[in-house]
Structure 1
């Protein structure tokens, strides 16, 4: 890696966890499309999986202290999340990496546009919607380490309070991430050389981003938070689409 690539990777990790501190999700959505400019997807996914679990421990701990986690909602999501993760891991080790990266870029941009344009409805939905949310969230999380959007879409239609939403999302991300780490270990993707060193280098950046993001979270309205995250998603996903499209012409 050149010095410029190292600086860009560090900035991506800090920005990702700043967003995570603000909104309770989105770290992998920001970091993965940027980091795959420098590293292969099969390296970035286990790196972000471990980082996200560590971040979720801190955020879930804060939610538990404030009694904000809604465990009933978490319980609805877990069974289908496990099934989704199993399917996603099969795709990760068996599909073409360039096609997966282009699909990731399109997915991230679509989710960013949805948030920016305010296309979300606000009615409370049935808990049975946790079945597709868990399957899709677990599958996308296993392939891209970015399974947050399906969970966010579902939980935002179940919980109106932004503090409860952030705490409950962190709890599901902790459980989802722990299951994914076991799967990645079985697949051999956590045994790559240098992964441990990159994790050690990333932890201070993660801590700084979460600290700054938490303090920003306190002063932002729900709509302001949505717009900030949406703009970052558009930049992150758009950069990946721009990089990958020439390979498909």
Structure 2
């Protein structure tokens, strides 16, 4: 593989990944990771994805600043910290394939039900935010797929689409920054990672801006349907990537 082709491929991957998360508020890693693993080692792909996630969430935080609610995001973030510890310490000892398949089946069935039945959103007790944050931290640490609990939590609430997206963005910004620090301290952020980040960061920023522009034209109901469709894709990926 030539260097020029590799650079162009990485740029294209993150342009699409940024567009997806700019549109939905999540999903960049769902798009980027399978493609990046065809181009580079997973130990390079993971920290590269996380660094670009910081770019995406920083841009979206700027765009959605007026919708950010610290009182909503803080429980998610605080609970994710012990969740990360539990996921790292205990869940790795279980059969990760079985748990991943179960989570994938849950995402597919829950999202399909939500698309068909269209349950009404309602006011959810803020205590569920701690549950969602904890589960997101634990599942993310064990399987690198911690978004679904927080995503589902936001869709259950009777919030505007901007408030939903801002909550997801604030949570993912926190976890991404925390992960970047861990990667740097453990030596995963190598010169190769930083070189690829130099090429891909402008592309992911452009993609995120395009996705955000498209998002502005989506009504709330269409936005919710799009989220559930991506959760189904995430569930399918979890079934077939183990």
Which range, TM-score by smaller chain?
A: 0.7 to 0.9
Residue 24 in structure 1 maps to residue 22 in structure 2: no
Correspondence list, 1:41-52, <5 A: 41-52=42-53
**CA deviations over 1:80-133 (Å, ceiling 9, x no partner):** 1111223445589x78xxx96997688568636644553574232222212331
2:215 corresponds to: 217
Tell me, yes or no, if the aligned pair for 1:53 and 1:174 is still in contact at 8 Å. Answer: yes
SS at match of 2:83: helix
Deviation at 1:69, TM superposition (A): 0.6
Tell me, yes or no, if the aligned pair for 1:28 and 1:145 is still in contact at 8 Å. Answer: no
Task: Describe the shift of the 1:236–1:12 C-alpha distance in structure 2 as closer, same or farther (beyond 3 A).
Answer: farther
Tell me, yes or no, if the aligned pair for 2:47 and 2:180 is still in contact at 8 Å. Answer: yes
1:188 corresponds to: 187
Deviation at 1:19, TM superposition (A): 1.2
Tell me, yes or no, if the aligned pair for 2:15 and 2:206 is still in contact at 8 Å. Answer: yes
Structure 2 length-normalised TM? 0.79
Tell me, yes or no, if the aligned pair for 1:37 and 1:240 is still in contact at 8 Å. Answer: no
Tell me, yes or no, if the aligned pair for 2:23 and 2:214 is still in contact at 8 Å. Answer: yes
Q: Which runs of 4+ in 1 moved over 6 A?
A: 99-106
Task: Describe the shift of the 1:62–1:117 C-alpha distance in structure 2 as closer, same or farther (beyond 3 A).
Answer: same
**CA deviations over 1:214-243 (Å, ceiling 9, x no partner):** 11111112343344455566567657855x
Deviation at 1:163, TM superposition (A): 0.8
Task: Describe the shift of the 1:114–1:10 C-alpha distance in structure 2 as closer, same or farther (beyond 3 A).
Answer: farther
Residue 118 in structure 1 maps to residue 114 in structure 2: yes
SS at match of 1:11: helix
CA distance in 2, matches of 1:237, 1:40: 24
CA distance in 2, matches of 1:73, 1:124: 13
Correspondence list, 1:66-85, <5 A: 67-85=66-84
Deviation at 1:170, TM superposition (A): 1.1
1:197 corresponds to: 195
Farther off after superposition, 117-126 or 18-27: 117-126
Tell me, yes or no, if the aligned pair for 1:137 and 1:151 is still in contact at 8 Å. Answer: yes
1:156 corresponds to: 155
Farther off after superposition, 107-116 or 215-224: 107-116
CA distance in 2, matches of 1:180, 1:19: 21
CA distance in 2, matches of 1:134, 1:235: 22
Residue 13 in structure 1 maps to residue 34 in structure 2: no
Number of matched pairs: 238
**CA deviations over 1:160-217 (Å, ceiling 9, x no partner):** 1001111122111111211122222333322x34100111111122012111101111
Tell me, yes or no, if the aligned pair for 2:24 and 2:226 is still in contact at 8 Å. Answer: no
RMSD between aligned residues: 3.4
SS at match of 1:189: coil
